Chain A
Amino acid sequence: MDMQPTALGYLAAGIGAALTVIGAGLGIGKLAAAAMEASGRQPEVAGQVRTSMLIAAALIEGATFFALAICIILATK
């Protein structure tokens, strides 16, 4: 490819951000599905399930934001 390095950088940032969001969406979607099912089976523990779901979602998003930070660095340098 004969693109300039900055153009490749922007392209990489865009593709990276898209893949990151796909990974995060799939992961947190599965997590939310399990949480919904657990709450439906046993409504009295719904509060604890919600707390654990939030913690797990935050941890997954933490990894997502690693990748997002790298994409932002790629896009702005």
Chain B
Amino acid sequence: MQEHTQTLQAASDTAHAAAAGHAAEGGNLFGELLHHVYDAHEIDLPFIGVVELPHFAPVHIGGLTIDFSLTKHVIFLWFAALFLIVFAVSAARSLAARPVPRGIGNFAEAFVIYVRDEICLPNMGPAGMRYMPYLLTTFFFILIMNLCGLVPYGATATGNISVTAGLALIAFVMIQLSAIRAQGIGAYLKHLTGGVHWALWPIMVPIEILGLFTKPFALMIRLFANMIGGHIVIVSLLGMIFIFRNYLVAVGPVFFVLGISMLELFVAFLQAYIFTMLTSLFMGLGMVHAHEEGGQGHEHEH
């Protein structure tokens, strides 16, 4: 089945990489191939062909120029969001209908219990249950976007650094929010000073604030580079066929691409899991401080 997908993917790549064949002469093959991986203002639909997406005039908001034109990754973002909403609502309905769910509720329950028991509760304790909706949304949204890039005519929205930046921004907000909610804003600000003498605060506070940003930044780069790296390797291997312009050469790269696509499938799941796990880990770190601070009247049972 993977081979069928592979031939479909190769066919779709062939269909408008015919231009790449001509470009190979000019040495511009790499740039032409990367066009498949990067964002574009047109989308390739299965039977309709290439559809040009509407351009909107850039909007100027107080010095910033934001371009709201639709691009391929925006369309896939919306598709993943819609898919997630439909999936979640139908799974919830199936779970509410009977005690032991069947079908899509059963499928979703396996993932939900995994996220709850392996990601949420070990890192955040019982207080983490209020953040379960956010963690589940993160996990499934990233997973769906990653998997979209593996089907023919699909594009990986998480292969766009703006998308992962948005996800990391929301993770940053959630990490600070959970820390403030658990510790109170006074203790949270006190942690920013790092417990040094007040004369050192002008040095300490900017460093600590910068340190707050490194973790979501790493989350962003990790997800983006994992997704884009796999696709660049696949596209480069398929480009070898265009360099040699020989049908016999096609056997080797297609098998390599098959192997790399299986790795990509594993990486799609792994990166969604890692993003969610690290977000919950960072949120849990903020909550543990609260437990340490107010430990006098508390009895902990684990």
Contact = CB atoms under 8 A, between A and B. Distances in A.
Contacts of A55: 274, 277-278, 281
B222 A61 contact: yes
A76 B221 contact: no
B270 A54 contact: yes
Interface stretch (B90-98, B224-232, B289-297): B224-232
Interface string A36-59: 000000000000000100110011
A65 B229 contact: yes
B62 to A, nearest CB: 30
Interface residues of B, number: 21
B229 to A, nearest CB: 6
Nearest to B281: A55
Interface in A22-76: 51, 54-55, 58-59, 61-63, 65-66, 68-69, 72, 75-76
B66 to A, nearest CB: 23
B221 A66 contact: yes
Contacts of A54: 270, 273-274
A71 to B, nearest CB: 10
A68 B270 contact: no
A54 B221 CA distance: 17
A7 B222 CA distance: 28
Contact of A76 (B34, B222, B229, B277): B34
A62 B221 CA distance: 7
B118 A51 contact: yes
Interface of B: 30-31, 34, 118, 218-219, 221-222, 224-226, 228-229, 232, 270-271, 273-274, 277-278, 281
26 contacts: A51-B118, A54-B274, A55-B277, A55-B278, A55-B281, A58-B270, A58-B271, A58-B274, A58-B278, A59-B218, A61-B222, A61-B226, A62-B219, A62-B222, A63-B218, A65-B221, A65-B222, A65-B225, A68-B225, A69-B221, A69-B224, A69-B225, A72-B228, A72-B232, A75-B30, A76-B31
Given A54-B273, A58-B271, A65-B224, 18 more contacts: A54-B274, A55-B274, A55-B277, A55-B278, A61-B222, A62-B218, A62-B221, A63-B218, A65-B221, A65-B222, A65-B226, A65-B229, A66-B221, A68-B229, A69-B224, A72-B232, A75-B30, A76-B31
